[in-house]
Structure 1
Amino acid sequence: MFEALVTLCLLSDPAICRDALLPGAEAATMEACEARLDRLAVPEGAWSAGAPFCAPVGAALAFEEVAPGIFVHVGAVAEPDGENLGDVSNIAFVVGREAVAVIDSGSARWIGEATWRAVREVTDLPVHHVILTHMHPDHVFGASVFAGAEVVGHEGLARALADRAGNYAESLEGLIGGQGFLGSRVPEVGVVVSGVGEIDLGQITLELTAWPRAHTGTDLTVRVGDVVIAGDLVFDTHTPALDGSVLGWLEVLERLEGQGARVVPGHGRAVMEMGAALGPMRRYLAVLRDDTRAAIAAGERLGEAVAQVAGSEAAHWALFDAYNKRNATVAFTELEWE
């Protein structure tokens, strides 16, 4: 098999280049691939691009089928860096009779490209939708690979991304390197969800739910039968990251439990029983809430409180030191005016 590529180079540093995938020209022969090059759109951005060319198909991300038609890639439980190149969050795609939906897209364009290849290993059906579960950069920067697909998100997602795009891009490029981030950009949200919505892929229907402020203010879940693809409303192994409301998150978890029997978390294992996944989440968030309230009642200042709030949870989570103090800061700010 062959695919189309284009060499992208940073305008600010032409020595930093990589070959980026141009989806849509996949073919069994070089000649057939080359015949399709003239209809491909070259990505635009802060980089220069050469002429498209064909080459043997590159590496795909590893996905496992966790239920009929539902495929999940497990990202590393780690901070983005030059070794993992930002592959630190779970990604899913769902194959219906008529179309495919991708749920989340990773930290960089290369992850979206490797997801496209994984889809093509399973089906030739078109990718009609890319659904983003929330605003955090490790879930959104690969979406622009899926040209022609509708980008779907919470009604607050477009504004949240617009407000943070520059900071997100600068941070990720610094963490994974210019070459790893090359070609990445924030996608434009075309379909917004408030409340509940549906997407019909043919024989498989996705139920989308936009949630009140919880992990963030832009959380969206995707239900497929008895499986809920939860994004970062559910963490496994990785310390939960609070960027919204600790009280709201606890309330959302109560409602989420009735949504399905199994859940795909945003970080951690590919799929889990719902109760087994939510138990540790509830415990951590309840300790975070209760310790914060106790610190406020004792008259502690923010700097004193964050050093010890939820410290009893440290042994239960990876990356605890990287996230817990941030979580305590957000919780303290929320709860000090109760």
Structure 2
Amino acid sequence: MRIDLPRRNFIKGFACVGAGAAMLPCCLPRVALAAGGLAFTMREIANGVFTFQGVNELMTPVNQGAIANIGLVVGNDASAVIDSGGSMVEGQALANAVKEITDRPVRYLINTHMHPDHIFGNAAFPDATVVGHRNLPGALEARSAFYLQSYRNQLGDALMKDIAIVPPALLVDDRLELDLGGRRLELRAWQPAHTDNDLTVRDIASGTFFAGDLVFMGHLPTLDGSLLGWMHQMEALAAVDARRVVPGHGPSPTDWPAALTAERRYFEALARDVRKAIADGVPLAEAVKTAGRGERERWALFDDYNERNATAAFAELEWE
């Protein structure tokens, strides 16, 4: 069974899961996000662990905001969803898919960080306890008005309908363990890196690590927190005891910790180029045009995000 994101009209049908999901329905539905839109299919990657893989694109009306990877873990008593997608259309498709997979209620909706492609579907899970990093409420409060306006311009009124910024009710200060009934999830709050509110989830039973946007594959990493913080935490990140990782963007799942190799290389190149520009007295406006350019052919969306990353890196590194 595979994730299917075809750019074609609504597809009806079911994809059968493999062995190891005997406690679940024998088939997983492929749910249309909207008429004429993308199909939404969840794939079982380990016993009781499912993912949806987003596309490596900017959020647009065509992809309906479905660009981030999403997770589901099913226990004996309850289930947990990791991130809710980039629109209520996607969030509702996710909720419908979960109901087809399991009758265990969604007890927790875990948000890995503040960005709209991960939280705009939150309102599709009104009965779940939303869980987030200790800094997530403040980040959402500071940005919610901007998000709702700027993404209305980007996605259009139809896809922004019914979106509500739903803050977490349960906060993770450092680490927190959630019990789904015979299945435990280990949540960890990180220091500023991709954002200042990055949260990861490890399913202990299967060794599956939901890294959120602390891990990008294929899609250029985006910097909205601290480059130095991200780089300094790479060893701790790589030390997480997991068999596989679900990155925030890119192939899901993939080998761990090998998934960090390309990201680490990009950060080192970006930092090296920015430091050299600062040492040579190159002004910011010129430095951001060349910093990290050696990585351009290795990443999707490089031209969309690299100069912004370089600008943030320059502002941070000039005060080292």
TM-score strictly above 0.5: yes
Alignment of 1:40-59 (within 5 A): 59=32
* Structure-2 separation of matches of 1:172 and 1:86: 10
The alignment status of 1:173 with 2:152, answered yes or no, reads yes
What is the aligned partner in structure 1 of residue 266 from structure 2? 284
Q: 2:31·2:97 contact (CA, 8 Å) conserved in 1?
A: no
The alignment status of 1:316 with 2:298, answered yes or no, reads yes
Q: Return the TM-score normalized by structure 2.
A: 0.86
* Structure-1 separation of matches of 2:32 and 2:76: 26
The alignment status of 1:137 with 2:104, answered yes or no, reads no
The alignment status of 1:239 with 2:243, answered yes or no, reads no
Instruction: Indicate which of 233, 243, 249 corresponds to 1:252.
Output: 233
What is the aligned partner in structure 1 of residue 187 from structure 2? 208
* Structure-2 separation of matches of 1:253 and 1:329: 21
The alignment status of 1:100 with 2:82, answered yes or no, reads no
* Partner-residue secondary structure (3-state), 1:303: helix
The alignment status of 1:76 with 2:55, answered yes or no, reads yes
What is the aligned partner in structure 1 of residue 170 from structure 2? 191
Q: 1:87·1:111 contact (CA, 8 Å) conserved in 2?
A: yes
Q: Residue 221 of structure 1 aligns to which amino acid in structure 2?
A: T
Q: 2:133·2:173 contact (CA, 8 Å) conserved in 1?
A: yes
* Structure-2 separation of matches of 1:181 and 1:86: 10
* Structure-2 separation of matches of 1:219 and 1:275: 18
Structure 1 unmatched runs, 5+: 1-56
CA apart distance, 1:125:
1.0
What is the aligned partner in structure 2 of residue 150 from structure 1? 129
Q: 1:292·1:331 contact (CA, 8 Å) conserved in 2?
A: yes
* Partner-residue secondary structure (3-state), 1:208: strand
* Partner-residue secondary structure (3-state), 1:229: strand
Find the structure with the greater CA-based Rg.
1
* Structure-1 separation of matches of 2:175 and 2:191: 12
What is the aligned partner in structure 2 of residue 85 from structure 1? 64
Q: 1:93·1:101 contact (CA, 8 Å) conserved in 2?
A: yes
CA apart distance, 1:257:
1.2
Q: Residue 291 of structure 2 aligns to which amino acid in structure 1?
A: V
What is the aligned partner in structure 2 of residue 35 from structure 1? none
* Structure-2 separation of matches of 1:251 and 1:65: 33
* Structure-1 separation of matches of 2:220 and 2:276: 21
The alignment status of 1:267 with 2:249, answered yes or no, reads yes
What is the aligned partner in structure 2 of residue 51 from structure 1? none
Q: Return the TM-score normalized by structure 1.
A: 0.82
* Structure-1 separation of matches of 2:146 and 2:184: 35
* Structure-2 separation of matches of 1:263 and 1:208: 14
* Structure-2 separation of matches of 1:335 and 1:263: 30
Percent identity reads 46
String of CA shifts for 1:3-38, please: whole Å, max 9, x gaps.
Answer: xxxxxxxxxxxxxxxxxxxxxxxxxxxxxxxxxxxx
What is the aligned partner in structure 1 of residue 200 from structure 2? 221
String of CA shifts for 1:239-271, please: whole Å, max 9, x gaps.
Answer: 000111111111222111111231100011111
CA apart distance, 1:58:
6.4
Which shows bigger deviation, 261-270 or 154-163?
261-270
Q: Residue 224 of structure 2 aligns to which amino acid in structure 1?
A: D
* Partner-residue secondary structure (3-state), 1:307: helix
What is the aligned partner in structure 2 of residue 329 from structure 1? 311
Structure 2 unmatched runs, 5+: 1-29, 34-39
Q: 2:189·2:197 contact (CA, 8 Å) conserved in 1?
A: yes
Q: Residue 304 of structure 2 aligns to which amino acid in structure 1?
A: A
String of CA shifts for 1:194-232, please: whole Å, max 9, x gaps.
Answer: 111010001110000000001110000000122110010
Q: Residue 219 of structure 2 aligns to which amino acid in structure 1?
A: H
Q: 1:107·1:172 contact (CA, 8 Å) conserved in 2?
A: no
